Structure 1
Amino acid sequence: MKTMSRCTAALLALLVGAGGASAARAQGTGTPLVQETFTQATAPDFTAVGDACLTGAPTGAAPGPDGGPGGCPAGAVGPVPPNDAAPHGYLRLTDAGNGRSGAVLYDQAIPARAGLDVSFDQWQYGSTTPDAPADGISFFLVDGAASLTGPGGYGGSLGYAQLGSAPGVSHGYVGVGLDVYGNFFGDTEGRGTGCPEGQRSPSTVLYPPPGPDMVTVRGPGDGTEGYCFLTATTSNFTSTGPWPSTLPGDLQGPTTTLPPDATPQEAETLLEPSRRRVHVRITPAPDPVLTVSIDFMDGNGEQLVLTTPAPQPVPATYKFGFASSTGGSTDVHLIRNVVVSSVAPLSQLNLVKQAQKPLPEDLGVGARVPFEFVVTNSGAQDITGLVVDDPRADTVECPTTELASGQTITCTATYTVTEEDAARGSLDNTAVASGTAGGTPVGSPPSTSTVPIPVQPPPPALEVAKSATTPGPYTEGQPITYSYTVTNTGGSELTGVQVRDNRVDGITCVPTTLAPAQTATCTGTYTVTAADAERGSVTNTASATGRTADGDTITSPDTDLTLTVGRTGLTVDKEVVSGGPFMVGSTVEYEYTVTDTGTTTLDDVRVTDDHISDVNCPPASLEPGASVVCHGSYEITPADVEACAGSDECVVTNIARADATDPRGNEVHSGSDDADVVVVVAGPPQK
């Protein structure tokens, strides 16, 4: 007898405890879910793949109308049981020929959260390559929300895991390999791709096979990723082989031949020593434990051979299958007496709601999500008037409204994702089933399904904000520096970011590649024109552009900025404010009214007069439209009238101009204005 690892032995002792071996062999007391002997000519609830066939059916009989296994063909290799043998038939996955592969799939979801108790009989025997029998049989579970339409890779992957580029079983949850040849144990041929440290097989050896006559468990996977190594019945988990099995018996049976004329009953008796009773159990969530027990038919009864934490999270439902294959090495592979039940009892009317997998690629607003409602009648009476109510989904459609005792059906509905769902980040809703059993209303506990709605990255987008960094007010000829803040408001990187402005050339941006939410600062300069000043404002329109990884150009909305441009204007009005007549020696008083006729404030107002050296102007800032009055005086001199000799009168003309400073310090000049004074030449001077 092989030795048992210390870990497995300790766990076995813990489970057995004071109750002895019978405690380890205790069966679940839950609700029956599936029962198929495979001894008859049909197995309508199962789909056959490849070489899988029923020896209970007539030779070469066509598959059943629902894709169930057909009859086995003539000319089988090895000691296979006879055909047309019902009720003493078997599910034959393969004969002992080279390159055979077969599987049966149960594509009806069954509840998972109450645990699962599975038992079946398996035969691996009659190899034509007795020194290296192969390959093995796998029992596997998948997420019941996915369609189970095919097994995974054959060979060392036993129809569960990936094999090179060949994908593993869709949405696999756990695979139990009853591996006679031994490659299911090793991480070769692509098995375990993408698995983290701690979920890698100790072995990367392909040949000789590292784990013969061993039970190996692999975890969840999909496509060519995952199906990671969890544990196996070996005493060595280091990377250095050999890796001996701790099974207390042999998976392969001793049968090597069967008489060619053996009756179904005789074959059944002769194959009995090669039968192995396998019991796989997963305890209920939230902390499920997977155990594998085997009765090797050696008089010791069922023995616990492996225990390990079951993978998390546990799906809402399971589907399951069996698979086997041969290659250059062979065996006959048979299955019988599959019994599946929950570990904990289910409610009389049990409902499990789940979203079908794979989910739609785009789960945004408006997406249609298909849902399944797995309904089980766990009571002793038939249920009529079955209704499934989901207040948020479309009408739930069931294949029947009558549910026999022990029957499970799947109802369907769809739901359209709303903006509220997307904002919440998940689609949550609850359903209940109801009906009547024996005239009494029955209802299921509510079942809630949560579908995460991934936050969709926003489409590529840009925004630009524009400002003037040169302070105003602004006047003709003034350079204005503009600053543009460009923000990537989309969900993807943009390159070649630049800004275009209808008035500004040579705008530069730093940086020119923007990740989502990143900003760039761009600058450019514009000089105010006379037309802007005349108009009183300057309006610039800008937009930003960038390129996606696909080469598409993204343009921001336009942004406008209007700045007020001041127009300068200054006038002077000169008047004589003293009374005449004026003679040589008379003092003439002048008044100068200076007016800001522009749109900007003027400072430092001054008046110059060609006859007066000092015109007095009060300190003042002139707002647009405002005026200030300046004063000056002039004494008439003989020189002023010399040119008028011989005349009674002479005109003295004074010319004045106003000046001021605009906000930028530039000089602003008015036009000139003059005033005439009539001077009496003859006669005494006037005082």
Structure 2
Amino acid sequence: MLRMKRNKRSSPLGGPARASRLAAAALTFAFGVGGSLALDTGALAQPQPRQGGSTLLDETFTQATAPEFIGVGSACLTGAPQVGALPGPGDHPLGGCTAGVGPQPPNNAAPHGYLRLTDSSNDQSGAVLYNHALPATKGLDVTFDQWQYGTTTGHIAPADGISFFLVDGDTQLTHPGAFGGSLGYAQKLPDDDPTADFQPGVDRGYLGVGLDVLGNYFGDWEHRGNGCPPGQRSPAGTAFHVPAPGPNMVTLRGPGDGIEGYCFLTATTSNFSTTGPWPSTLPGQLQGPTTAVSSDPVQAEQDLEPSRRRVHVVITPAPDPQVTVSIDFNDGNGFQQVLQTAAPTPVPSTYKFGFAASTGLFTDTHLIRNVVVATEQPLSELSLVKQARQPLPGDLTVGSQVPYDFVVTNSGDTTIDDLAVDDPKVGPVHCPVTSLAPGETVTCTATYTVTAADVAHGSIDNTATATGTSDGETVTSPESSESVPIQQRPGIEVEKQVETPGPYSVGQTVTYRYTVRNTGGVELTDVAVHDDHVQNITCESTTLAPAEETGDSTTCTGTYTITAADGTAGSVTNTATATGTANGETVTSPETYQTIPVGQPHLTLHKRVVSSGPYQVGSTVQYAYTVTNTGSTQLHDVHVADDRVATVTCDDTTLAPGETTTCHGSYQITQADIDLCLDNGNRGGGDGGTVECRITNIAQAGATDPQGREIASEPASATVTVTVRPEPPCPVYGKPDDKGGCDKRGRHSQV
């Protein structure tokens, strides 16, 4: 929360408190220590009063702290204790100054301090930033004292100047723009070097007032005003001028962001042609004559008084905003209007502001004091300005998060309690405090999620009010409305689902359902779905209206037959997109993926003997074969092959996944089976013993999958045993006996 000093509304830029303070300072300067009259006209000088405005800020910079401001670079407070070194080029809390180069006001001098942007050394740059939004709907009225004096580079040229700048209050003001001739407001390309990097201007700048002693801010050299049309370029063009094209000039530059904009608006010159010189019409000098400053804080103020220039900048409210710059050159003539022109439009809802100065090859000391900011017209007792905080998160679409700031100001004379902000559309608004003292401003926050209806409407429109209680009575602010535009871009999305339940197998036909939704703000025609696997997809509707709360949608369907390759891979993944036509151009949705598992074909076989023994030569053995489809695809032409059984018949030759069939076959034992057994060493020992011959046969089941591919099971076997009593061996192996009972192989011819 901001706690700013408050003055009476009847005198927004001075007020009794400020007037008393200035009068006391004037008397101190007038009578001095010895009591002799030495009238200090600067201390008695007052900002021009503007009737009816509301004071928003009053910062003298005379004390040791200024906690509401951010310091950048060489900016420091001479009211604070002296330091050995400044923090560096980045931003920092405002603290003490170094001893400084050139005629400097003394340090540790509160309450007689100054904001020192630079001393008179070379290559200094400093700025102060006020990163708190102030209402702009009733215009703006700003006064401040500035000093530019004490150059250490002789009479060649002092440099560079001081800028006062405004930015759109919906952004974070965390850094100034480029320094040098850009005075901390505009962009620049250093030395016009095409190999150098652009230095950006201040973020979302609105207006830059250059109190330009050297005069480079007047010109577009170093690509100031980059991207501006010819009608908004400096009369001096982009050429380099030595030492500068517009010395002792007040120049206004307009809105810009980054390295684009900050265009030349106008300046205090009598020559706007492209041929110089461009003399200044200022009735006095921005630079002051001070060359020496006392180490005594009070005497230092008197030494610096001849160099003080009081600047008054006024911007009137929309719809016809005008910017006026007046300057009191401390020459007895009071404020003199030096510029008036149309202010840039559109005017922001809120402002933030800053001051900046720099030195380079040429130098000056740059001081600021007595900054008073007020509205140009009075605010209501409780004021509310609502704004979407920038930058927004890219192109706004359904689901985008939009941050809002609600800038609430108590412009009355009593404390407002029970502070709350109501925004029916955005929802709950968080305020860091619930009590607001007179003159205080607080920023409340909320975040809103963009809906399809917002996209279809083309904007987020909402109205908020602030409420509170004061002396037991309810206080309500005027309504604050804002419309955040949403570019009505076309949009389309598709969701994909499998309608057919699993499990899935090769040869199976699967149905897919696609839900296509219009997520944009324009009508879509020729709506279609494209799938890298599914063909001939049909949609219930090919025209979709702009999105409403849930979006206009249609359903499309298509089928796909799972292939053997899918089965081998174990799954099938297909990708779909939806397209439509909007404003003659094709709009394509993000891709959507769908993967389903696919089982591979598989067959198992179990074989068993179903007949009873004992078995001998000539016995018939009966076999049963159990064949099971253990895969996930249907199988055809189921059969069994057996190395001993000539014919095997099956009850069923088609099996669905998980189904089983039984097959049958038989085999008659032969003498050859027994001979083979005996040849393998199973012969009797001549003692009349028996031999058990084991007869084994091996089978394998086969089938055809839906793609005609042959598959086979693992082999299965079964064994029967035949008991035989072998004859005694022939007397001499390989010699037939004389009785003819042995064959030539040494075996008995009969068993």
* Kept after mapping to 2: 8 A contact 1:174/1:218: yes
Whole-angstrom distance in 2 between the partners of 1:44 and 1:447:
29
The aligned residue for residue 608 of structure 1 is: none
Hey, what does 1:132 align to over in structure 2?
157
Q: Answer yes or no: is 1:179 the counterpart of 2:212.
A: yes
Amino acid aligned to 1:31: S
- Distance in 1 (alpha carbons) for counterparts of 2:535 and 2:389: 58
- 2:65 aligned to which of 42, 49, 73: 42
Task: Check conservation: 1:42, 1:54, Cα contact below 8 A.
Answer: yes
Q: Residue by residue, what CA displacement relative to the aligned partner does 1:574-633 show, whole Å, maximum 9, x if unpaired?
A: xxxxxxxxxxxxxxxxxxxxxxxxxxxxxxxxxxxxxxxxxxxxxxxxxxxxxxxxxxxx
Matched, 1:333 2:366: yes
Give a deviation string over 1:148-173, Cα, whole Å, max 9, x none. Answer: 00100000000000012111000000
- Say yes or no: does 1:151 pair with 2:176: yes
User: In the alignment, what sits opposite 1:93?
Assistant: 117
Secondary structure, aligned partner of 2:456: helix
Structure 1 residues 104 and 555 mapped into 2: Cα distance closer, same or farther (>3 Å)?
closer
Q: Does 1:425 align with 2:470?
A: no
The amino acid that maps onto 1:78 is G
Structure 1 SS opposite 2:222: coil
1:318 aligns with 2:351: yes
Distance 1:427-1:500 versus aligned 2 partners, 3 A rule: closer
2:124 aligned partner, one-letter code: R
Distance 2:378 2:577 in 1: 65
Partner residue in 1 for 2:439: 406
- Indicate how the Cα distance of structure 1 residues 300 and 415 shifts in structure 2: closer, same or farther if over 3 A, else same: same
TM-score of the pair, normalised by structure 1: 0.63
1:119 maps to 2:143: yes
CA separation in 1, counterparts of 2:531 and 2:65? 74
Q: How does 1:630-645 map to 2 (within 5 A)?
A: none
State the number of aligned residues: 455
Give the AA of the match of 2:464.
A
Q: Alpha-carbon deviations, 1:360-407, whole Å to 9, x = none? A: 113100101000000000000000000101111132111100000000
Match of 1:236 among 265, 271, 276: 271
Residues 47 and 104, structure 1, Cα contact 8 Å, conserved in 2: yes
1:304 aligns with one of 337, 340, 343: 337
Query: Match for 1:226 among 240, 250, 261?
Result: 261
The alpha carbon displacement at 1:188 in A equals 1.4
Q: Deviations over 1:515-564 (max 9, x none)?
A: xxxxxxxxxxxxxxxxxxxxxxxxxxxx9999xxxxx999999xxxxxxx
The alpha carbon displacement at 1:458 in A equals 3.4
Match of 1:453 in 2: 486
Query: For residues 252-651 of structure 1, what are the structure 2 equivalents within 5 Å?
Result: 252-259=287-294, 262-458=295-491
User: What is the CA distance between 1:25 and its match in structure 2?
Assistant: 4.9
Cα distance change of structure 1 residues 85 and 501 upon mapping to structure 2, 3 Å threshold? closer
Residue 156 of structure 1 aligns with an amino acid whose one-letter code is G
Counterpart CA distance in 2 for 1:187 and 1:116 is: 28
Q: 2:200 maps to what in 1?
A: 167
**1:603 aligns to what?**
none
Q: Which residue of 1 aligns with 2:672?
A: none
Percent identity of paired positions between Structure 1 and Structure 2: 63
Deviation at 1:67, TM superposition (A): 5.0
* 2:300 partner SS: helix
Q: Contact 1:351–1:446 (CA<8 Å) still a contact in 2?
A: yes
Structure 2 gaps of 5+ residues are 1-44, 190-197, 495-519, 525-529, 537-575, 580-587, 594-751
User: Closer, same or farther in 2 for the Cα pair 1:236/1:68, shift >3 Å?
Assistant: same
CA distance in 1, matches of 2:432, 2:493: 45
Aligned to 1:517: none
TM-score of the two chains, using structure 2 as the length reference? 0.58
1:246 to 2:281 alignment: yes
User: How has the CA–CA distance of structure 1 residues 325 and 502 changed in structure 2, closer, same or farther, with 3 Å as cutoff?
Assistant: closer
Change (3 A) 1:274 1:425: same
CA contact (8 A) 1:47 1:67 kept: yes
User: What is the Cα deviation at residue 236 of structure 1?
Assistant: 0.3
- Name the CA distance, whole Å, in 2 between partners of 1:127 and 1:28: 39
Q: Structure 2 CA distance, aligned partners of 1:376 and 1:555?
A: 50
Amino acid in the other structure paired with 2:235: P
Please state how far the C-alpha of 1:136 moved relative to its aligned partner: 0.2
State the distance in 1 between where 2:142 and 2:533 align: 73
Deviation at 1:455, TM superposition (A): 2.0
Write the distance in 1 (CA, Å) between the matches of 2:591 and 2:58: 64
Change (3 A) 1:287 1:187: same
SS in 2 for 1:189: helix
Q: Is the 8 A contact 2:246 2:278 kept in 1?
A: yes
Q: Distance in 2 between the 1:109 and 1:163 partners?
A: 27
1:297 and 1:437 map into 2 onto residues whose CA distance is: 43
Q: Using the alignment, how far apart are the partners of 1:183 and 1:47 within structure 2?
A: 26
In structure 1, stretches of 5+ residues that fail to align are 1-21, 462-488, 493-497, 505-542, 547-551, 558-687
Matched residue, 1:27: 50
Q: Which moved more, 1:206-215 or 1:171-180?
A: 206-215
Q: Distance in 2 between matches of 1:280 and 1:78?
A: 29
State the SS of the aligned residue for 1:291.
strand
Q: Which amino acid aligns with 1:256?
A: T
By how many angstroms is 1:196 displaced?
A: 1.3
Q: 8 Å contact 1:44–1:67 — kept in the other structure?
A: no
**Gap change, CA 1:93 and 1:388, over 3 Å in 2:** same
Residue number in structure 2 paired with 1:207: 241
Letter in 2 for 1:153: A
